[in-house]
Amino acid sequence: MATNRSRRLRKKLCVDEFQELGFELNLGFKEDLSDEAIDAFLDAFLTEAMDANGLDYVGGDDFGLVCSAKRGSVSEEQRAAVEAWLKGRSELTNIEVSPLLDAWYPEKPINPAS
């Protein structure tokens, strides 16, 4: 693929100076947790951790990607706020929060300008 792209195309592809960052979550629930308790946790997670921080979550109950609700990147402060919220929850036995990564192309390194 060509590397000499127009500004418009770079923006459309979310590359170079338009790279958007997010992070992955991997959650482990307590084994004796009921489906209702997991649903209640997920409702609280989406309201208190995602919406309150201007973020969106794409994924399942136990694994997913967090990205900005608007066009742009997740900040390190937003990532830390979600991690702190998760660590305060008793429903979880395991929490893995990845470092910030390219939300569109996870295999690509983060641009220093991002």
pLDDT in tens, 14-68: 888 889 999 999 999 999 999 999 999 999 999 999 999 999 999 998 899 999 9
- The predicted-structure confidence for 69-86, as pLDDT tens digits, reads as follows 999 999 999 999 999 999
Whether this model's pTM surpasses 0.85: yes
pLDDT surpassing 60 at residue 1: no
b/e for 65-97, b at 16 or more Cβ within 10 A? bbbbeeeebbeeebbeebbebbeeeebbeeeeb
